[in-house]
Amino acid sequence: MERTEIIVQLKAIVGDAYVSDAPEDLFIYSRDQGVQEPHLPDGVVMPGSASEVVSIIRFAGRENIPVVPMGGGLVLSGLTVPLKGGLVLDMKRMNRILEVNESSHYAVVEAGTSQGMLDAYLRKHHPQLKHSLPDAPPAATIAGNIAIHGSGHLSQSEGGFHSEMVTGLEVVLPTGELVKLGSCSTVPAWFSRAPLPDLAGLFLGWNGTTGVITKVGIKLFPRPKYHDVLVYMTEDIDLAPMVLGRVIGTSMAEDINYALAPKPDYLRGFQMTVVNFTANTEEELAFKRKTLRSVMKDLYETRDSGFMPVPPNMKAGFLEAPQKALSKFADVRKGGGFEYVGAIMPIERIPDACRAGMEITARHGITYSLGARIIGRGNAAMFFFAYPFNRVDMDEVERVKKALEETNETALALGGIPWKTEVQGQQAILRQMEPGTYALMKRIRAVLDPAGIMNPGNWEVA
């Protein structure tokens, strides 16, 4: 079908204002902030409802047009870049908050609801509740984040990954059926995925290759009145597993992050373990602070490490969610380029990951921010190797690209798995994956998406 005809058909579904093939729009939707090659889509469409998504997917299926679901488009690794052209399905119009269940602690939102919107809504209407916010800019969407197993400032809750906080999904399958998954499939409430066969997993971690999420049930957590942060400073990366282990062992943190960077110069060579914790009373907060400090006593008494005094302005930054530090760092080279390898890995590999990150960046002459968010009760870490760059400096872009590729390989070699990784990284994972596992992935996709229209190029061997 000709592009003009495609656009006409889409306009009939969503209305004239919500479809575009204007060159400037296609340019914007062809790229993200990372180093992946841009690819022009044929059109951009913004559905306003699940039924419109159904119509678009049915149409795309009939006409064999690739469809790339997109939320905030902030994944950084090219996962919303239409590798094979086709349509970018921009979900931002579907941003209604449909339900907040205060008793059963969950919210039901449309897929394009942004993190910032849900946060603001809860603060206003249900101030005693919160959801786990990633440190991404607030325009990131709930669905885009769970679709890639994101994590955030309640990293110590539940399993830690936001995908584990999903209580139910509504999904448009690549063949156009609208299905509900979790308790909402059987009763009119979205309280959990158990005890049913867990089909939500078919859409979590698949980068939009198995269907379009239209609604998400997401767990909410108490928002205690008091909040504080402790920062533990070390000068030996090999101490990381011990320091982190002790913090995790208290079960008192809401979020645990570990970070090192060459800038500012007074932090170069040091590592910071940032522990956020909350409480309902000042006494509880004081007790937690005391406990968290006490587990480090023998360490700080050696004077080789210790809790850093945190001045009020710095503290205010640490207490924020989302954290602005990484967003600010993202533009440290100016020119708006930023990408990171996030690798999910065992805690004990953090020191090696730090060393590898410093070695790779030194070799490629680029700057870095390295660190980890501890996921769940220390089952894993999301280790980030973040590399900012200046987009107009093509030499730097190339060096960052090479560094990212090497970092993906290194993360795998270290026993980690690159997270939300770009196509090359996905291919590296698949090369290492049990053949049977990959065969199962392929069979599932073939069943769900016989026409192969959903975000093609992702989770495929080269």
Residues found near another protein in the complex (CB under 8 A): 233-235, 264-270, 290, 293, 300-301, 303-309, 311-312
What 3-state class would DSSP assign to 20?
strand
Quote the least distance from Cβ 263 to another protein, whole Å.
12
Nearer to ligand FAD, 94 or 240 (CB): 94
Quote the least distance from Cβ 153 to ligand FAD, whole Å.
8
Given another protein, ligand FAD, none, residue 309, with its beta carbon under 5 to 8 Å by kind, binds another protein
Nearer to ligand FAD, 9 or 155 (CB): 155
Nearer to ligand FAD, 285 or 417 (CB): 417
Given ligand FAD, another protein, none, residue 312, with its beta carbon under 5 to 8 Å by kind, binds another protein
Given ligand FAD, another protein, none, residue 328, with its beta carbon under 5 to 8 Å by kind, binds none
Nearer to ligand FAD, 143 or 404 (CB): 143
What 3-state class would DSSP assign to 166?
strand
The answer for 109, left when phi > 0, alpha when psi is -120 to 50, beta otherwise, is beta
Given another protein, ligand FAD, none, residue 306, with its beta carbon under 5 to 8 Å by kind, binds another protein
Nearer to ligand FAD, 141 or 361 (CB): 141
Sequence-distant (6+) residues with CB within 8 A of 164 are 158, 376
Quote the least distance from Cβ 378 to ligand FAD, whole Å.
18
Token readout for 76 is: 């950084």
**Interatomic CA distance for residues 370 and 258, integer angstroms:** 8
Given another protein, ligand FAD, none, residue 41, with its beta carbon under 5 to 8 Å by kind, binds none
Q: Which residues bind ligand FAD (CB under 6 A)?
A: 68-76, 79-80, 91, 111, 134-137, 140-141, 143-145, 147-148, 150-152, 207-208, 212-213, 326-327, 330, 455
> Cis before residue 322, ω within 30 degrees of 0?
yes
**Interatomic CA distance for residues 10 and 16, integer angstroms:** 8
Nearer to another protein, 223 or 293 (CB): 293
Given ligand FAD, another protein, none, residue 267, with its beta carbon under 5 to 8 Å by kind, binds another protein
Quote the least distance from Cβ 241 to another protein, whole Å.
18
Quote the least distance from Cβ 191 to another protein, whole Å.
39
**Interatomic CA distance for residues 227 and 314, integer angstroms:** 14
Span between the terminal Cα atoms of the chain, in Å: 28
Quote the least distance from Cβ 238 to another protein, whole Å.
14
Given ligand FAD, another protein, none, residue 455, with its beta carbon under 5 to 8 Å by kind, binds ligand FAD
**Interatomic CA distance for residues 350 and 414, integer angstroms:** 9
Quote the least distance from Cβ 386 to another protein, whole Å.
21
Strands 166-172 and 271-279: unpaired
Given another protein, ligand FAD, none, residue 71, with its beta carbon under 5 to 8 Å by kind, binds ligand FAD
Q: CA separation (Å) from 209 to 392, 428, 452?
A: 32, 18, 9
Count the neighbouring beta carbons within 10 Å of the beta carbon of residue 160. 27
Quote the least distance from Cβ 226 to another protein, whole Å.
12
Residues belonging to the chain: 462
Quote the least distance from Cβ 317 to another protein, whole Å.
15
Nearer to ligand FAD, 141 or 183 (CB): 141
**Interatomic CA distance for residues 43 and 30, integer angstroms:** 10
* Sheet of 67-70, strand order: 19-20, 43-45, 87-90, 67-70
Given another protein, ligand FAD, none, residue 300, with its beta carbon under 5 to 8 Å by kind, binds another protein
Quote the DSSP letter at residue 136: S
Q: CA separation (Å) from 358 to 77, 127, 364, 423?
A: 21, 42, 10, 24
Angle of CA points 200, 201, 203, to nearest 5°: 75
